[in-house]
Chains A and B, each alone.
Chain A
Amino acid sequence: MRINCPFCGERGNDEFSYLGDASVVRPDPASPSAADEFYAFAYERRNVAGPMQELWYHTAGCHAWLVVTRDTRTHEIFEVKAAQDVAFGRQKTADTTP
């Protein structure tokens, strides 16, 4: 499997470390159901068979965190984005949502 790092170009997966589901977002501690939400945030994961967003770290390369959309059945990769851009995009959406 090869990952197309947006900064370095295409590299073998031996250069990367896997973290897990990139769709998990830290809950709001002020939420009334914060305890349950934090439990889910820490422990509950979906076992996706198909495309999912994953966090990968370019350990032996540029040291950037990446969000990789990968089919867990075929290892086909559909999209790779810098995690920083994804996080800032998410923040921007949250800021503009009434």
Chain B
Amino acid sequence: MSESAQSLTAKNRPVISELTDVSVTHLAARREMRTSLDDVARSTFGVALPATPRVVEAPGVMIVWAGPDQWLVMQQRGDKADIFAELAKTFNGLASVVDVSDSRAIFRVAASRPSDALVRSMGIDLDDSVFRPGDVAITHVSHLGVMVWRLPDATGYDFACPRTYSRDFLDWLGKI
């Protein structure tokens, strides 16, 4: 995933950037279609849909667990044709497929380890031994619902929040 060049924080703080030009698609498995969905997902993306709160990456795609039998599929738009239409066609009958690109803002905090301020600000345990690279959590911060995942290469943390609240969320993020 590429990031916008705009740094949103002051010097000596973790660099926070917004992931832009990203297609975000929500998949929810239809009842009793999980096995077929897994097969199609594996042949489409080259990786299995994570069954636990984890994020997996394959060339050009990041798949984030978003609840039981639900995932966010994130792909860089670039010059690609309509990514959502293609996914809707691929998973037709196996999953409910919804384009949530406009409803989610995704911010990346570049940090190999969580800062003390981040650890203190969140209700979940971010300790290295518990929140490992590739782990995902759906939780809330400062009364805002967020998804957070640690990048599999341990270079940072991504936060997805409803875009409507992104200004408030960024205010919170800027203080950590």
Contact = CB atoms under 8 A, between A and B. Distances in A.
A60 B161 CA distance: 12
Contact of A7 (B67, B123, B124, B145): B67
Interface residues of B, number: 10
Interface stretch (B2-10, B81-89, B135-143, B163-171): B135-143
A78 B128 CA distance: 28
Interface of A: 7-9, 11-12, 14-15, 60-64, 82
9 contacts: A8-B137, A8-B138, A11-B123, A14-B140, A60-B140, A61-B139, A62-B67, A63-B67, A64-B68
B67 A15 contact: no
B139 A15 contact: yes
B172 to A, nearest CB: 15
A60 B67 contact: no
A11 B139 contact: yes
B152 interface: no
